[in-house]
Structure 1
């Protein structure tokens, strides 16, 4: 009995400590509790009084996403090549929803394409848009038809068109920023103001793709919404109207690209927003990303860079060679712009206008600033395009960029351009961009010209890296 007072004192001390400091690693529990916490990921089972480990919940991965792709039987043979650039059989989950059974003849459905399903008849629904197509009704219901399949372990329902190219690793990283147990509606708006005014600033545009969690509430009211918004042109407008009724606003992510532009997307993609590249749309209506290539081959080339470092694709960095007064802007995996004069950071960060608006083919307005691409050769950058990549080990890569022979424009005869025209290629080294950077406060990475002014071999070496403290891109 001599030790009894000591035991009592220890028991009282323990009770006070763990009650007053509930955030400590080990917590006090009482015999009557249903679930007594010992550790953030361990409980005592109430009936057996033993420790049971609870596994930490996995992050969202590609298997948690169910894609719903809007397509037509008549266009699939032409559009399938875009889907097949990003679709991975037995990895990616989802379906392309067609208006009719495809006319395959004796040929089987391509194994490289998403499996298909035929949408239910929508003749009973109202559609009164005088300039649109009733297919908007069918495509709006894809999210409901996908949901009603009852597939297991789906956290996100992602919608897109048959000419939407998704960059799935980046899509997963973006969605991991959000709690899938809450209701989210994530996407992007149009680049052309005239489209946003006509359709909406507050919806996810369907060609760029959008993602929805917990779609049961949307599914419950969707059919009624379609009739209530019968005058709206597009399926994405109808979904946007329904989400307004639920009270869930669009969460805008800058990497979803509707590409409601005409001409060349070069200017936009060479000064990509500071966000992961998630999707590209309307590729059939734009010039190829790379000169001298067709559209599909052009996207395939971009994806060849993307597979080396998915998060870094199209990420812009710029720096100066002050010995030559050069300004260099790198859009990783796509292009390098060399200006044989000093250009301010704000200007380098503003897209060159190589495109017009979607509907009226006008010079403006857009939802972002642009700068004029001058026709005078002495005011234009010398442009190099991605030509290849190599993995160096330990998470390091090198990409190289060359001037295309098919784009030999009139040259500037000023002395400061002479050395620039002697450059044959840029070799850009970088370390794999950790996806966790996208969960932190955004900051563009820095770059530096390696080797000073020694570019006698015609190959300029650039290193992209995280910025140092107090570092800025400031010309003298």
Structure 2
């Protein structure tokens, strides 16, 4: 049998090689194909019969008392078959220390629900003979980290211990965990909203969810690609499983990094996973009054607040913890609506009304654009240098002229009024400077002492849709109404509705 000769190019060295192929007659080629097909069919039938025989000959095991039991591995449930996420699917790892816990535990106890929330606060040593409070999260003592390298000259070796919390939490082997959530002992979580946010993501995939610092100088130093640890971040179970495999060696590779969150992000980056940013996580890297930040919350659920001992109380004339407790009562009344913004106009009086539900109301005796109303007042300074910025969001200055400021009303209380509806009442706030605008249009606003805001509960399904700021309307614009009180109704926007001044 003769051979045909042909040439082809070798892709690795760009040279030509000579190949030889058998020269077969058509009749011989057809016979070869028929023989090959018959052999393949025979092999397939034999294999099929063998597998069917083996399957029917295997015994079926039930839940009985046999000494020898074979366990059949069930297939992994699909995302559609798994129940919706709830608080039991989250496991919290809180970075703490014996030195700080007695003063900071008040923040953790505001959101921790004994018997419901799962996790531990991780301490640097045993707390001694004192009785551990039942209202606090249970504690564990972190492992010894003396063998690890830490070369940051201005930081603390505790960063290593806190970075390893995710590994030590994972190695506890707790069942039914979808997300490991990390935070500090002065982090306040709004857990229902946290569950709502994380439920948007498939926990069977590798996710790293959190937020940046508000101060640009912090993001430049510690990475924009990082979820800041004080604001809290969440790591899905599959990512945690990959992370713990490399974490200890990775901590040594990044010995020069200051914080635990820097080290975690760097290790996750080696796996190839990027941070998924959620603006509801708040690092609160600011000094001064957080009013401007909270009164201009983005259109996302409120998830966390950090550094509350480093800013003014979020409500005036209260201690820091009392002020946060007041915000928590608002959140517990309607978790999804907490701090959500709404704008509307009173065209009869030419007023602009801005509502931050459960926190404050601002009234301007003029028609202001939405672009101005949604921008945060800069009532604070940056974290590191105490400067006027920059921040990761737009701000507007607070004028010293009282005629350039809105009349502000702070939350007094929130009431459930039945039918999944709320009534929140806001009392006029007196400026601590004592300056009052004497202009006639401001005097007319100053007559108003209370603002009542009526709103239906903002159900969680609303956050599964494309986010949209809700609309509002003034309910008592006629002359016959009590001029000391105005009522506002928050609601979903109508089709083609916009907040546009005339």
Shorter-normalised TM-score: what interval? 0.7 to 0.9
When normalised by structure 2's length, the TM-score is 0.83
Which of 302, 310, 316 matches 1:291? 316
> What does residue 470 of structure 1 align with?
496
Question: Aligned equivalents of 1:303 and 1:392: distance in 2?
Answer: 19
Tell me whether 1:210 sits opposite 2:233 in the alignment: yes
Shift of 1:403: 1.7
Which of 195, 216, 221 matches 2:218? 195
User: What pairs up with 1:382-397 in 2 under 5 angstroms?
Assistant: 382-397=407-422
Question: Aligned equivalents of 2:376 and 2:396: distance in 1?
Answer: 6
Could you report, residue by residue, the CA deviation over 1:155-193 in whole angstroms, capped at 9, with x for unpaired residues?
100000000000000000001000000010000000000
> What does residue 377 of structure 2 align with?
352
> What does residue 281 of structure 1 align with?
306
User: What pairs up with 1:72-471 in 2 under 5 angstroms?
Assistant: 72-103=97-128, 105=129, 107-213=130-236, 214=238, 215-404=240-429, 407=432, 409-454=434-479, 455-471=481-497
Shift of 1:108: 1.5
Could you report, residue by residue, the CA deviation over 1:325-357 in whole angstroms, capped at 9, with x for unpaired residues?
111111000000111111100010110100001
Question: Aligned equivalents of 1:143 and 1:208: distance in 2?
Answer: 16
Indicate the SS of the match to 1:274: coil
Shift of 1:451: 1.6
Structure with the greater alpha carbon radius of gyration: 2
Indicate the SS of the match to 1:300: helix
Shift of 1:404: 3.6
Question: Aligned equivalents of 1:403 and 1:288: distance in 2?
Answer: 18
Shift of 1:70: 0.1
Q: What is the root-mean-square deviation of aligned Cα atoms in Å?
A: 1.4
Residue 137 of structure 1 contacts residue 226 of structure 1 at CA under 8 Å; is this kept in 2?
yes
Question: Aligned equivalents of 2:474 and 2:463: distance in 1?
Answer: 26
Question: Aligned equivalents of 2:460 and 2:308: distance in 1?
Answer: 27
Question: Aligned equivalents of 2:403 and 2:351: distance in 1?
Answer: 14
Could you report, residue by residue, the CA deviation over 1:264-291 in whole angstroms, capped at 9, with x for unpaired residues?
1100110100100000000000000000
Shift of 1:453: 3.8
Shift of 1:150: 0.3
Question: Aligned equivalents of 1:59 and 1:88: distance in 2?
Answer: 20
Could you report, residue by residue, the CA deviation over 1:363-409 in whole angstroms, capped at 9, with x for unpaired residues?
01011100111110000011111111111111111100002457473
Question: Aligned equivalents of 1:244 and 1:437: distance in 2?
Answer: 33
Question: Aligned equivalents of 1:409 and 1:318: distance in 2?
Answer: 27
> What does residue 11 of structure 1 align with?
none
Residue 160 of structure 1 contacts residue 206 of structure 1 at CA under 8 Å; is this kept in 2?
yes
Indicate the SS of the match to 1:158: strand
Residue 291 of structure 1 contacts residue 407 of structure 1 at CA under 8 Å; is this kept in 2?
no
Could you report, residue by residue, the CA deviation over 1:105-127 in whole angstroms, capped at 9, with x for unpaired residues?
3x410000000000001000000
Shift of 1:457: 4.0
Question: Aligned equivalents of 1:66 and 1:88: distance in 2?
Answer: 13
Indicate the SS of the match to 1:393: coil
When normalised by structure 1's length, the TM-score is 0.87
Shift of 1:99: 0.4
Indicate the SS of the match to 1:221: helix
Question: Aligned equivalents of 1:378 and 1:160: distance in 2?
Answer: 42
Residues 446, 439 of structure 1: CA spacing in aligned structure 2 closer, same or farther, 3 A cutoff?
Answer: same
> What does residue 38 of structure 2 align with?
none
Question: Aligned equivalents of 1:203 and 1:64: distance in 2?
Answer: 24
Could you report, residue by residue, the CA deviation over 1:32-67 in whole angstroms, capped at 9, with x for unpaired residues?
9xxxxxxxxxxxxxxxxxxxx999421010000000
Question: Aligned equivalents of 1:183 and 1:282: distance in 2?
Answer: 29
Question: Aligned equivalents of 1:406 and 1:472: distance in 2?
Answer: 32
